[in-house]
Structure 1
């Protein structure tokens, strides 16, 4: 539902590059080649070489998040991405765009305390650039460096461990899903 404008993508590119962190950035193929040149000129991509990997189109998010080299996740806080981040045990930098994503951001940053807000205040559906390069740079740096980052990483790893345990045989989610299947099977027979 939300597509980033070329100017918003340029802000994100500037923030990621300025953070000084290595990154993988997945960008949907929703822009044409002229717009692409506007938000990521060839010289910028050259500067990011060895520091950042830009994937255009689809990427296996769960596989990427589960990799041991991943130290953080910049997310729009959609429910699937939030659960995938938690289950992978990865701390998050949050930039909600619409709907329930603002509530999910509160779960990640205020309740679980495994994330840093980028500072998006308004729904992106109303138009305009919501993510500022300086705010993204600061959030990524806070997420990756320092004592607070280590504490978040430790909490996120603990939540990831709990999530994996819940879906293993005998875990709470495993048992609850089997109970639901049994009940639905019983209702169908009855």
Structure 2
């Protein structure tokens, strides 16, 4: 970063809502913790869902199946928190497919992003 003079490292607290509200951010990949869902919805961002354990799988169902503002990557196994990192949960192809759907130009992609913005507007 020093050589290219590009990028930014945040060492301590990060202004997450400010970052999520930046126009360059079109969507996020999240493990679906509830606080991050609320922050993403506040910013009107659609999400690629990557639940790992506990309530995250229920949160994914709400966002992807009910509100239809999330794209699941296929993570189906509830992993005990001390075992995270020991299992390959999803493959890179699944992640790429979900990101392409979320950020694509197809009508389904546009609808996902539109619904996320509408929920944000309604909340505000």
Question: Take 1:108 and 1:67, find their aligned partners in 2: how far apart are those partners?
Answer: 22
Q: Which runs of 4+ in 1 moved over 6 A?
A: none
For the pair 1:160 / 2:115, whether they are aligned, the reply is no
Structure with greater helix share of residues = 1
- The 5 A counterparts of 1:75-86 are 75-86=30-41
Distance 1:124 1:60, change over 3 A: farther
1:103-182 matches, within 5 Å, as 103-125=58-80, 126=83, 127-145=86-104, 146-164=106-124
| Alignment length (residue pairs) | 113
SS in 1 for 2:39: helix
Q: CA deviation at 1:95?
A: 0.2
Decide whether aligned partners of structure 1 residues 54 and 114 sit closer, same or farther in structure 2, where only a CA change above 3 A counts. farther
Deviations 1:7-36 (A, max 9, x none): xxxxxxxxxxxxxxxxxxxxxxxxxxxxxx
- Unpaired runs of 5+ residues, structure 1, are 1-48, 165-190
Question: Is the radius of gyration larger for structure 1 or structure 2?
Answer: 1
Task: Name 1:174's counterpart in structure 2.
Answer: none
Q: Relative to 1, partners in 2 of residues 1:141 and 1:160: Cα closer, same or farther, differing over 3 Å?
A: same
Offset at residue 54 of structure 1 (A) = 8.6
Residue 57 of structure 2 corresponds to residue 102 of structure 1: yes
TM-score by length of 1: 0.55
Change (3 A) 1:88 1:132: same
Question: Structure 1 residue 69 and structure 2 residue 24: aligned?
Answer: yes
**SS of residue in 1 equivalent to 2:48:** strand
Shift of 1:143: 0.3
What root-mean-square deviation, in Å, do the aligned CA atoms of Structure 1 and Structure 2 show?
2.0
